[in-house]
Structure 1
Amino acid sequence: MTLIFGHRGSAGTMPENTMISFQEAIDAGADGIELDVHLTKDHIPVVIHDETLDRTTSGTGNVNSQLAEELVLLDASAEFPEFKGKAPIPLLEEVLEWAASGDSRFIVNIELKNNIIEYSGLEEKVIALVKKFDLDERVILSSFNHGSMVQALKIEPRIETALLYSDGIYKPNDYARRAGAKAIHPLLRTVKDELIRQSRESSVSVRPFTVNSDEDMKRLIEWETSAFFTDFPEKAVQIRKSLS
């Protein structure tokens, strides 16, 4: 079965990378959520996509120029003003505590946003939180920084890693295996049915991003793709049910 991951939660309908967005995705029946992590000025993992605060929050400037206690007071509903006051920036610890507390065993894909700013110690800090909540088997670490994923495996080989990429890679399954990764997360336009077939033969999972059209969702499900990331998990779940 093709698994469905809520991209930044349910980013098409809720403020991205917020608790209400993550809850919306799980309530819709998603098999997992995807989120992004940076480090604050005091080196605490915080959940936000951009290196800066300007697009999605009531703040301005770089994420890593402010303390965690300052960031959690900001409103992250900028693109969905109807949720103003209901969508603070969450710390990664808050999200993982929530994920560990419920009965649902959904997957949490944590993207380490260290391909533009190389946050020293990001891998260690994220993995320490994953282990704190005993989520080793329910977490996937991913990054466009493939060296970071190799480093993560050295720290804790039991946590799955995945390689993100936006441009074509020659023999991506072979490349992933050499890096110790169990999955590749390619930009949707780079994905062909041959790659999906090869992934099944090589035991490397393929999870494309970001899949929002009905046509693309149906195509990937029919190809028996491992999983995909979507801003509209509720719609994706409904389409998957209609094809079963």
Structure 2
Amino acid sequence: MTLIFAHRGYSANFPENTMLAFTEGAKAGAEGLELDVQMTKDGEVVVIHDEKVDRTTDGKGFVKDFSASDIRNLDAGVLHKSLGRKERIPFLKEVFEWLSGNSLICNVELKTGVFRYKGIEEKVIGLIRQYGLQDRIILSSFNHYSIVHAVSIAPEIETAPILAEGLYMPWIYASSIKAGGFHPHYRAAHEEIIRQSLQHNIAVRPYTVNKESEMKRLIHAGCTAIITDQPKKAAELREAIYKRP
């Protein structure tokens, strides 16, 4: 069965990459979450997509220039004024503590494409091991050097390179860097690529799948998971598809 991963949590309806979005994603029927990590100037791993805080908070500047305590003072819910409450940027350890009380899978995207964040792989892997989540975490990144480095220090944790464009025989590439899967843009996730990858025991989790037609196509194709801003819609569509005789 194709799993549903809530992209940055239930980000269509709630502030992305916040604990509220993650808990609501779980309530909506997702079996997994996708989140992004950056690092503060004092080495705290924090959950936020952009290198700057400008788009999603009431602050300005690069994540790397904030201390952990200062970044906690920002409101990560400014794009959702109707909530009437402040949402904080989570520390990754907070998310992992919450995950330790449920059975969700978590895709942690290492945002090392713009700033290298020296040591972030070690810090994230240390937290994964601390909370005993080795079997429920997937480490992904557009920076495949981060993926290879993660494999070298934690071969027990699944990794998945993110592919923005189509790649010839991606299952071979994934195997060559000892990744358990890959995460293609949904337009590059053709049925034959999905079929061949699964036959070679390589997981395929396309992103960011919000169109109903694409959800249906990928669920019918049997991909490992779809990463979506709309977990409720995806879960309902999947249920309808699997219930058909």
TM range (shorter): over 0.9
In structure 1, the partner of 2:157 is: 159
1:44 corresponds in structure 2 to 44
1:240 — aligned with what?
Answer: 238
Give structure 1 stretches of 5+ with no counterpart: none
Deviation at 1:84, TM superposition (A): 4.6
Using the aligned pairs only, state the percent identity: 48
Q: 1:178 corresponds to which letter in structure 2? A: S
Distance 1:202 1:52 in 2: 39
CA distance in 2, matches of 1:169, 1:12: 29
Deviations 1:179-214 (A, max 9, x none): 000110001111111101111211111100000011
In the alignment, structure 1 residue 87 sits paired with structure 2 residue 115: no
Question: RMSD of the alignment, in Å?
Answer: 0.9
Report the equivalent of 1:16.
Answer: 16
Matched, 1:183 2:181: yes
Aligned equivalents of 1:19, 1:86: Cα separation in 2: 12
CA deviation after TM superposition for structure 1 residue 43, in Å: 1.1
| 1:210-229 paired onto structure 2 within 5 Å | 210-229=208-227
Quick check: 1:97 aligned with 2:97? Answer: yes
SS of equivalent residue, structure 1 residue 85: coil
Structure 2 match to 1:109: 107
Question: In the aligned structure 2, how far is the partner of 1:124 from the partner of 1:34?
Answer: 19
Aligned to 2:35: 35
**2 CA distance for matches of 1:73 and 1:99?**
24
Q: Once the 2 structures are TM-superposed, how far is the Cα of residue 81 of structure 1 from its aligned partner?
A: 1.5
- Match of residue 135 from structure 2: 137
**C-alpha distance in 1 between matches for 2:123 and 2:85:** 29
Instruction: State the match for 1:127 in structure 2.
Output: 125
Q: Indicate if the aligned counterparts of 1:78 and 1:84 stay in contact, CA closer than 8 A.
A: no
CA contact under 8 A between 2:170 and 2:197: conserved in structure 1?
no
Q: State the Cα deviation string for residues 74-132 of structure 1 (Å, max 9, x = none).
A: 110122112253311100011110110x2x31101100000111110010000001111
Alignment-mate amino acid for residue 212 of structure 1: N
SS of structure 2 residue aligned to 1:200: helix
Misfit runs of 4+, over 3 Å:
none
Q: In structure 1, the residue corresponding to 2:209 is in which secondary structure? A: coil
> Is residue 2:204 matched to residue 1:201?
no
Aligned residues: 242
Opposite residue 65 of structure 2, the aligned amino acid is S
* Distance in 1, Cα, partners of 2:81 & 2:188: 34
In structure 2, C-alpha distance between the alignment counterparts of 1:237 and 1:17, rounded to whole Å? 20
Which 5+ residue runs of structure 2 have no aligned equivalent? none
Q: Is the 8 A contact 2:5 2:34 kept in 1?
A: yes
TM-score, length of structure 2 as denominator length: 0.97
Q: Tell me the amino acid that sits aligned with residue 189 of structure 1.
A: R
SS of equivalent to 1:36 = strand
